[in-house]
Structure 1
Amino acid sequence: MTTELEATLDCNGQPFNISFNYKKNKAKAILTLKGILDGIHADKCLTDLEEVYLRAWKDNDAFDLKDGDFVDIHEQIEDILEDGVITTSELEDIQEMLQDVLTYGQIDDFGYEGTVNHLLGFLSGISADDTLCDTEIEKLTSLLNKDENLISKWPANAIKKRLDTILADGIVDEEERKDLLSLIKAISGQSLLETGLAYGMSADFSTTHDGRICLNGKKICFTGKFLSGSRKAQEQKAIEQGVEVKKNVAKGLDILVLGAVASRDWRFMSYGRKIESVLTFREEGHKIEIINEELWDALTFLA
């Protein structure tokens, strides 16, 4: 029997109606853009990839352009893209506009979630050009050090720990720079340049890359949207491999599988409540793995 909630979701478990969670999604999109702009401005240079990033955000169809706030924001982004430069004046104007939308639209009171959305947008901004300069690393360090609540939880705690290790000797060598960039890109979902999404991004994070995991008898939960077929198709494939499919995350779970494209209704950007729950359980000592769609496909292909 189909429940009322299930009737509102498509075959990938995502809401049919765009108005579902609209206010939170609007805040998420705007906070993400604020972070992206801060990150891009950190090196005062708009590269071709960063232009693609802003255009992807603008062209995302998750919001109806009848929303006057988004019409105004789109016009501002077009002005920035026209000459490929974000001037101090342009940055101040658009950030002020974004803050006004949050404040006067009464959609800025999302506490920790809002802070994380801004952080993930910032990570996307500084890593979109596939490089990390010293100025960007310094600004990221400053951003993290300003909020003890933020760095007490994922994903900020993982980034802070890596940064502290890298900066312990006062030198950032190329191997450390590459390692930090890889972590940032995985957390912020940099595959958006391939999918064309700018929030509700690609989820390529995994806790393991072991391609020899035995699936038979495992308890597995799926989340997100899959490029290689619907979530129901993935669940059927799992059952054929002797897997017990679970609808929700619990401490007895073995694996959480992430679809390559995250929903606009995920709690943050490149991971959702299920991922957050798994990470919390892992910190408590429970051995639950998170794997992305690429590894999942490889495991089921070999099985």
Structure 2
Amino acid sequence: MGSYEAMEYRRFTSKSEFDKAIHTLEGILKGIALDTKINSKEIEELNHWCILHRRFLHKSPFKELIPLIEQSIADNEITIEEREDILWVCNNCKAGNQYFDVITSDIQRLQGLLHGILSDNEINQEEISGLKDWLNENEHLASTFPYDEVYSLVVSVLADGKLDEQEKKLLEVFFTEFIDTQSSYNINKLDLELKKEIKISGIAAICPEIKIKGKSFCFTGASSRSTRNKIKEQIRSLGGRFNDRVTQSTNYLIVGDLGNPAWAFSCYGRKVEKAMQLRKAGQKILIVHENDFWDQIEDLRIVDLA
């Protein structure tokens, strides 16, 4: 690449990099405050963000943000008002999502939120409840990776009203899949043995919107309610398409419930792995549980009878 082309490319990527950095900072600031207590490790994480972006100190909004953050954390604390001041600068001095659409910008904020939650290497129930509230407020991200995955796991671990140690480990490992741990002061020190101990292959969406007409389906696992051929016939009779393989044109991968008691937060198998790869690449494919599929079939029958 010639010097002029390289300069133009860098000019464009720098501005997009700026926006991503600010969106991530917004998420971190909200994540560390979800339990209303900001500790010294979380302060270290904010300081590390300033160090990582100091090379942009001559450019706006970093020339406003970095001094403000450093001043706010100088006493190793950050008040609610100081945090709100920083968020105000984020909202008013960035490039206005010029290089990212709303979905991408909010996914970057979600990744920052997870980063903030993990920044002290501790996860508590108050933080996860706060994360669930944020996810509920941002339902426009549904079907976008990793919103569905995070939401499904959060709903599952909070279902019994308490967060045990195994669930904390599960969340810890899962969240690190979606954040840049190399840009963290503390998170990259997580025990790597956890990732060997806990493996997560895929997450089924919670209460997904399923449309059948004109959509492409694939099935994995075993069904307690029907045979695969009958499921295929059911989909085709309603104007949908069925394929035995997960492809780029697949809209829904249905996960059978038989023999998979942990379906609520883990779905294992080659097809799920392929679907996850496509989701990570930006493909709008939903992993749905068989029960949700049959619920949609029943809803369609009720409409036809009305």
TM range (shorter): 0.5 to 0.7
Aligned to 1:57: 49
Q: 1:181 aligns with which of 168, 172, 176?
A: 172
Q: Greater relative contact order (Cα 8 A, min sep 6): structure 1 or 2? A: 1
Q: Closer, same or farther in 2 for the Cα pair 1:22/1:173, shift >3 Å?
A: same
Select the residue among 121, 146, 149 that pairs with 2:140: 149
- 1:24 aligned to 2:27? no
How far the C-alpha of 1:165 sits from its partner, in A, is 1.5
Q: In the TM superposition, what is the alpha-carbon distance from 1:34 to its structure 2 partner?
A: 0.7
C-alpha separation between the residues in 1 aligned to 2:131 and 2:23? 16
Return the letter of the residue paired with 2:103.
Answer: Y
Partner of 2:223: none
The answer (yes or no) to whether the contact 2:120–2:187 under 8 Å persists in 1 is no
Q: Measured at CA, do residues 23 and 187 of structure 1 come closer, stay the same or move farther in structure 2, by a change above 3 Å?
A: same
After TM superposition, give the deviation of residue 98 of structure 1 in Å.
Answer: 1.1
Instruction: Check 1:29–1:4 CA distance in 2 against 1; reply closer, same or farther (3 A cut).
Output: same
Gaps of 5+ in 1: 9-14, 198-203, 209-249, 252-273, 285-303
The residue number in structure 2 matching 1:118 is 109
Partner of 1:133: 124
Counting aligned pairs with the same residue, the percent is 25
Cα shift at 1:47: 3.1
Residue 61 of structure 1 and its aligned partner are, at CA, apart by 4.4
Counterpart AA for 2:72: I
| 1:133–1:194 distance in 2 versus 1, CA, 3 Å | closer
Q: Residues 70-113 of structure 1: CA distance to partner in whole angstroms, max 9, x if unpaired?
A: 111011110222112120110111111111113xx444672101
Aligned residues of 1:132 and 1:181 also touching (Cα < 8 A): yes
Aligned to 2:33, which of 20, 41, 58?
A: 41
Contact 2:31 2:117 in 1 (8 A): yes
In the superposition, the TM-score normalised over structure 1's length comes to: 0.58
1:168 paired with 2:171, answer no
C-alpha deviation, 1:135, in angstroms:
1.4
Q: Distance in 1 between matches of 2:20 and 2:129?
A: 25
Q: Which amino acid aligns with 2:70?
A: E
Contact 1:45 1:86 in 2 (8 A): no
Larger of the two Rg values belongs to structure: 2
Q: CA-atom RMSD, angstroms?
A: 3.5
Partner Cα separation in structure 1 for residue 161 and residue 112 of structure 2: 26
Name the aligned partner's letter for residue 31 of structure 1: H
Residues 97 and 279 of structure 1, relative CA distance in 2, 3 Å threshold: closer
